[in-house]
């Protein structure tokens, strides 16, 4: 027995799409088209793509070896390495280090790992101000939203939300 698809009200929904969204989508499409043109100019593209894929797979399969090498090199340079089993453990480790050094503000670069563990939100709940150095992430931070396709989103945010918070202007 086939079911009749549920009507989702696209027409009504589309009336609420900000006017800037279609332009941002078109710009992203233009970027994709430009990428495709660059690929077309590189005859060995598929071999390079496959080599990159092979390197990635090898690295993942041997992650333990590479992580140990990383730890050894960090320690040899005088650094410290902390291992965490969970996102919560990682956040607690960062918080402990911050508290040991009486940190009130953290300035950090873009990191998918810190996004995945929710570090910014965690630190802010602990009254530690987090300032992003990546422009796209900073715009998202000012908007108070989670990370989404920020390149599109950042083009759609009003100028008011793009201006630095009052604390950053002082």
Give Rg (Cα) of the chain.
22
Are residues 163 and 95 part of one domain?
Answer: yes
Tell me which DSSP letter residue 140 carries: H
Are residues 141 and 66 part of one domain?
Answer: no
CB 96 within 8 Å of CB 123: no
Tell me which DSSP letter residue 79 carries: -
Instruction: Calculate the average pLDDT of the chain.
Output: 79
Q: Do β-strands 129-132 and 105-108 pair in parallel, antiparallel, or remain unpaired?
A: parallel
Are residues 88 and 157 part of one domain?
Answer: yes
Range of the domain at 27: 21-81
Are residues 90 and 160 part of one domain?
Answer: yes
63-84, pLDDT tens digit by residue?
999 999 999 999 999 999 999 9
Are residues 113 and 91 part of one domain?
Answer: yes
Cα–Cα distance measured from residue 149 to residue 74, given in angstroms and rounded to the nearest whole number: 33
Are residues 133 and 65 part of one domain?
Answer: no
pLDDT at 39: 76
Instruction: Answer whether residue 122 is part of any domain.
Output: yes
CB 142 within 8 Å of CB 165: yes
141-164, pLDDT tens digit by residue?
676 665 544 444 444 444 445 455
Looking at mean pLDDT, say which of 18-32, 70-84, 122-136 comes out highest.
Answer: 70-84
Are residues 93 and 130 part of one domain?
Answer: yes
Q: Label residue 24 by pLDDT band (50, 70, 90).
A: confident
Residues 6+ apart with CB under 8 A from 106: 98, 123, 128, 129, 130, 131
CB 122 within 8 Å of CB 98: no
Are residues 105 and 39 part of one domain?
Answer: no
Task: Tell which of 34, 58, 81 closes a domain.
Answer: 81
pLDDT at 149: 47
Task: Calculate what percentage of the chain has a pLDDT beyond 70.
Answer: 69
Whose structure tokens read 């563990």? Answer: 117
Are residues 110 and 127 part of one domain?
Answer: yes
Are residues 94 and 47 part of one domain?
Answer: no
State the total domains in the chain: 2
Are residues 146 and 121 part of one domain?
Answer: yes
Are residues 95 and 68 part of one domain?
Answer: no
């Amino acid at each position: 027995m086939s079911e009749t698809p549920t009507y989702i009200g696209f027409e009504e929904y589309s009336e609420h799409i900000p006017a800037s969204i279609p332009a941002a989508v078109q710009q992203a499409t233009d970027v994709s088209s430009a990428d495709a043109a660059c690929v077309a100019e590189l005859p060995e593209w598929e071999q390079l793509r496959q080599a990159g894929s092979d390197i990635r797979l090898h690295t993942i399969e041997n992650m333990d070896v590479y992580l140990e090498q990383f730890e050894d090199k960090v320690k040899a340079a005088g650094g410290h390495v902390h291992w965490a089993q969970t996102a919560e453990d990682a956040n607690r480790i960062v918080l402990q280090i911050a508290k040991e050094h009486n940190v009130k503000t953290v300035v950090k670069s873009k990191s998918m790992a810190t996004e995945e563990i929710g570090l910014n939100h965690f630190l802010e709940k602990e009254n530690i101000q987090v300032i992003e150095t990546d422009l796209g992430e900073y715009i998202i931070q000012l908007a108070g939203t989670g990370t989404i396709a920020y390149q599109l989103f950042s083009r759609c945010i009003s100028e008011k939300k793009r201006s630095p918070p009052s604390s950053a202007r002082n």
